[in-house]
């Protein structure tokens, strides 16, 4: 048995589910779970995720893909098939703060996040020992004022990773980096976006006197801190909390939000659409 995930999106129109579920049925597939969403049932955009398993002795993924093609063509749809449990390669970028990295590595080792981790890249050497302790190659790529060394990062990342996680990486990646990498980047921002963009969000939150703080995991786009939001976590604070308390409470939110976003991503649960996400 092999579990396959179909992600399908197109302009909303009649008969999509009928066509696709018939196709899966005829290929011997047994649907495990299906989710669909339309931004507007009259003239909106339609999203479908179906998880199904097939007996691979009788039906191959290649055959599925070939059969799916004309259906997708008929609906002018973007259709993709993924084999579950084929681990994606998750590259990690990190700076000095280690809490998100520690959490990701722990979840990876304990089997909760099923990925391969081809490398940890950092602009500081602080987390070298940690990465190596888990047997992950660590690359120190120091940005300087004049040269962010994005080409060095790209050289590694493009070939060896399927997506990147910025686990508190404190360098801003350029638009051209994002375009050239061409695959998703997930960032954790230590505020409840869109509040407190930019630097030192906990200090900003402290100064504004908010009563709830948050953390936001989002896809990286060229527009800093404005990419599609995947997950947000919040916690109450009070006048008693110092900036340090916000940082401490925030660390927990950050690692929790980031891990959940990664889990959704590698389970192929996320569609990006118009700077938002649909998370099934």
Task: Point out the residues that are catalytic.
Answer: 225
**148-207: which residues touch a copy of itself (CB under 8 A)?**
192-196
Main-chain phi, psi angles of 104, to 5 degrees: -60, -45
Give yes or no for residue 248 binding a copy of itself (CB under 8 A).
Answer: yes
Cβ nearer to a copy of itself, comparing 142 with 197: 197
d(CA 100, CA 256): 8
**10-29: which residues touch a copy of itself (CB under 8 A)?**
14-15, 17-18, 21-22, 24-25, 28-29
The neighbour count for residue 147, using CB atoms within 10 Å, is 10
Which of 70, 146, 182, 209 forms a contact with a copy of itself (CB under 8 A)? 209
The pair of structure tokens assigned to 147 is: 């040269």
Return the bridge partners of 92, or none: 120, 165
d(CA 113, CA 262): 8
Q: CB 239 → a copy of itself: shortest distance, Å?
A: 4
The pair of structure tokens assigned to 155 is: 């050289």
Q: The tokens 């938002």 sit on which residue?
A: 276
d(CA 102, CA 157): 21
Which of 91, 201, 228, 250 forms a contact with a copy of itself (CB under 8 A)? 228
Cβ nearer to a copy of itself, comparing 22 with 78: 22
Main-chain phi, psi angles of 96, to 5 degrees: -85, -45
Backbone Cα Rg of the chain: 21
Cβ nearer to a copy of itself, comparing 117 with 157: 117
- Cβ atoms of 257 and 187 within 8 Å: the answer is no
Cβ nearer to a copy of itself, comparing 119 with 271: 271
The pair of structure tokens assigned to 18 is: 């009928």
Map residue 41 onto helix, strand or coil. Answer: coil
Give yes or no for residue 53 binding a copy of itself (CB under 8 A).
Answer: yes
The neighbour count for residue 123, using CB atoms within 10 Å, is 20
Q: CB 31 → a copy of itself: shortest distance, Å?
A: 6
Cβ nearer to a copy of itself, comparing 48 with 157: 48
Give yes or no for residue 36 binding a copy of itself (CB under 8 A).
Answer: yes
Applying CB under 8 A, the span of 80-88, 165-173, 175-183, 270-278 interacting with a copy of itself comes to 270-278
Give residues in contact with a copy of itself (CB under 8 A).
Answer: 14-15, 17-18, 21-22, 24-25, 28-38, 41-42, 53, 98-99, 102, 106, 110, 112, 133, 192-196, 208-212, 214, 228-232, 234, 238-240, 248, 252, 256, 275-279
């Amino acid at each position: 048995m092999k579990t396959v995930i179909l992600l399908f999106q197109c302009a909303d129109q009649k008969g999509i589910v009928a066509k696709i579920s018939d196709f899966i049925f005829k290929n011997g597939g047994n649907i495990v779970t299906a989710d669909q969403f339309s931004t507007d049932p009259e003239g909106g955009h339609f999203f479908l995720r179906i998880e199904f398993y097939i007996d691979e002795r009788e039906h191959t993924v290649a055959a599925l893909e070939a059969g799916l093609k004309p259906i997708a063509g008929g609906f002018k749809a973007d259709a993709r098939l993924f084999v579950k449990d084929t681990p994606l390669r998750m590259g990690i970028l990190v700076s000095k703060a280690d809490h998100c990295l520690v959490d990701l590595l722990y979840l990876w080792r304990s089997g909760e996040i099923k990925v391969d981790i081809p490398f940890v890249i950092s602009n500081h050497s602080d987390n070298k020992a940690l990465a190596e302790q888990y047997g992950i190659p660590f690359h120190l790529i120091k940005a300087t004022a004049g040269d962010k060394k994005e080409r060095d990062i790209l050289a590694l990342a493009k070939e060896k990773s399927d997506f990147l996680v910025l686990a508190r990486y404190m360098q801003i990646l350029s638009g051209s980096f994002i375009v050239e990498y061409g695959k998703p980047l997930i960032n954790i921002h230590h505020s409840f976006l869109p509040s407190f963009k930019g630097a030192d969000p906990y200090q900003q939150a402290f100064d504004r006197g908010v009563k709830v703080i948050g953390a936001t995991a989002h896809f990286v786009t060229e527009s800093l801190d404005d990419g599609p939001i995947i997950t947000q976590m919040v916690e109450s604070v009070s006048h008693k909390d110092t900036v340090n308390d916000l940082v401490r409470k925030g660390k927990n939110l950050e690692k929790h939000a980031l891990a959940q976003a990664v889990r959704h991503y590698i389970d192929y649960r996320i569609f990006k659409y118009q700077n938002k996400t649909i998370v099934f």
